[in-house]
Structure 1
């Protein structure tokens, strides 16, 4: 524990938590419930997502409260059975994820529909190891009919109607942070979205970072630290591409190209997966395929 009371694990006598992509993702098995951090076009751990798609895991329940193309990509790769959240899309590029929409309409992917606040409360309940937490939002709406896991009950103190939001428990959380030390003390330079809650709700946490720094550097900005004991750290510079992070804007053209392929049908999206997921042997090869000029043009 740091002298100032900040929860940063000391490094004395500890071994490094930095691992390779494939080693980190070994914790994700068929049928797992996986939380993915970020929101819409920002802060998604895309290097982890692409590696997960290459592994060919099946029947995942993906918890992505405000999701972007990462959910579309995993559905296209045949990895997803169920999606839990309130939105999948890339806003102005694609209002609703085309692959997600098609899979749901065809009955290939189930949806557990929640309001964004329900996601927050459910993850918080899991983090506190509670079976549920009460919430007022959604009372008197059709949410309990659309999602029977949301149960109306009377507040035993005041007698007011409330919703019981069940805990959203995760097997694994895949999260992006700009920096971490070798022991999993990660920090967000940009917005952390719901990532802290996802990490607290998970049995295992994998953090994808741009830079691995010393613990001393982490201590200089303790207010930024997102702390999860035992998290694995994967070094993947520019690994949120094509989503943004605290140092890089989103690659809108890449997002548009993906959306166009997704709307064009199976052959076009299979070609996208071949070029961007299956052919690159690792993250470095993916960056080479995108091109250093393209990547550096996104830096802020």
Structure 2
């Protein structure tokens, strides 16, 4: 499979996904992606413009072009050195927009499970707004079904362990994968890294251990201001706690994507309100200090020159 971009006759720049292997599995993924994307319209989901026929010599999908690479590129890939995701607010917005897109997928009828949520499938435009992409593994969920029994598919490091063990796909499988994305956003570390200690190769395991042991500071990217920025520290802790809930082994313990969005937005609102109150308190302190300075008469500089009579005498040791 290859991704490239091209230009249409009307001047639009588009992304083209080309499937070189014209086998049964690829054709099924090709048709699946078309069927799903034709149902969707959301500002944080990539838009499908068109495609070739399944009987064509080449299988092509034509999307809107999203020019700024993937979240993975900027966190720990080829573009990490650019430092474009150093600021915590940008990363927090990526988390909110990705969660909003997944919540939308889980609310449409029939429900859609993405099944391959990862930072490589979260595209960014030039303003760092999110476009979730790659629906080749996605599944339409039957109405009123509790799960779909299917062989586990996805990317190592992101796959729901309960789905992997029991072959039961649910919307909570996407929640688990999103939990890994949250940990990537606060740590700047890849989901799998064989150069790490064997107990920390899997980022989800590392995060659960660090959070449980109260060592969150060892997980967080130092560039995010966790030790110096009060507001960033508060929201990073909230996101870490949310990731911890998303990564629970028992899917029933995980929140829904709708709950995830609510927690993130409420946390942002609370943090902003606290910032306003802190600023108001500081302003009041400044006004109080100014009032004290105005109402108190300063000492005369001459007063320090007055003779000071001691009430005690010092013995003359020389006599």
- Could you tell me the TM-score, scaled by structure 2's length? 0.25
* The structure with more radius of gyration: 2
Q: Which is richer in helix?
A: 2
Write 1 or 2 for the structure with the bigger share of strand.
1
